[in-house]
Each structure stands twice: as C-alpha cells, then as structure tokens.
C-alpha cells in the first residue's frame, strides 16, 4: 500500500500551508490559493497533504503527534534547521543518535515536524 494523503485540521490554513510549501517542498494544488478553509498541497512523490480549518479550538494534536520527513543525507537536515532557526521558528537542536540525524520544529497550529536522515 502507498500512503495517498494526510488530512490535518489546523487553526490557520494559510499559515500552515506557507510553512509546508516554504520548508518542506510542497506545492499548492488548489485553484483558490487563499482559501481560509482548505489547502491541498502536493509532495514531490505524489503524496497529498490536505489542511482544513479546525472547527473547534479545543481540537488539538496529541502531545507527541508529529509528521516526519526523511532526507537522503545530513546536509538537507542541517539546511532545514538553519532556515527555520533563521526565520525565528521554534526548533530543536540538531540531534545525532543511533537513528540518524534529527531536527524537530513546530509548524503553525502546533504540528510537530521531524526532519531526519538515517545513519
């Protein structure tokens, strides 16, 4: 099976869409790029990320919920870290362990994003 799409409920659709297009390489698929209600983003491998406006402010992601992006080498992980840090986003230190090199960042809406490479 191939994962086709992920639908995330977020408080600010456009701010979250800008994060995923700027830092994660997604492109917009929707005709209405400014919709406050929904954004449909495409990844480089055909994966689709759907962002919909959260209906209630009490609907939040569980504490450790996150989305992960795997890179081929350490260089793009480090580049991601520097870009989000330079833009003032909340980002972890670079973590190196037996799983590889990892960075965690908070996207708008509180979504925890992991960018990593395997050793």
Lowest mean pLDDT among 23-27, 59-63, 90-94: 59-63
Regarding the domain delimited by 1-59, which CATH topology (the fold level of the hierarchy) does it fall under? 2,3-Dihydroxybiphenyl 1,2-Dioxygenase; domain 1 (3.10.180)
What is the average pLDDT value for the chain, to the nearest integer?
Answer: 91
Residues of the chain with CATH 3.10.180.10: 1-59, 61-118
CA distance 36 to 115: 27
What is the pLDDT confidence band of residue 30, given thresholds at 50, 70 and 90? low
Residue 15 in 3-state DSSP?
helix
pTM above 0.85, yes or no: yes
Beta carbons within 8 Å of 12's beta carbon, 6+ residues apart? 108, 109
Please report which confidence band the pLDDT of residue 109 belongs to, taking 50, 70 and 90 as the band edges: confident
Name the phi and psi angles at 80, rounded to 5: -60, -45
Q: What is the pLDDT of residue 61?
A: 77
Can you give the pLDDT at residue 56? 75
Please give the Cα distance from 45 to 47 (Å, whole number): 6
């Amino acid at each position: 099976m191939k994962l086709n799409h992920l639908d995330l409920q977020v408080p600010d659709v456009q701010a979250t869409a800008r994060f995923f297009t700027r830092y994660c390489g997604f492109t917009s698929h929707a005709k209405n790029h400014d919709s406050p209600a929904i954004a449909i983003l495409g990844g480089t491998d055909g994966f689709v990320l759907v962002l919909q406006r959260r209906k209630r402010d009490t609907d939040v992601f569980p504490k450790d919920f996150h989305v992960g992006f795997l890179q081929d080498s350490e260089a793009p992980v480090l580049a991601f870290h520097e870009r989000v840090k330079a833009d003032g986003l909340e980002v972890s230190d670079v973590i190196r362990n037996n799983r590889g090199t990892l960075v965690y960042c908070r996207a708008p809406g509180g979504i925890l994003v992991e960018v990593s490479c395997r050793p």
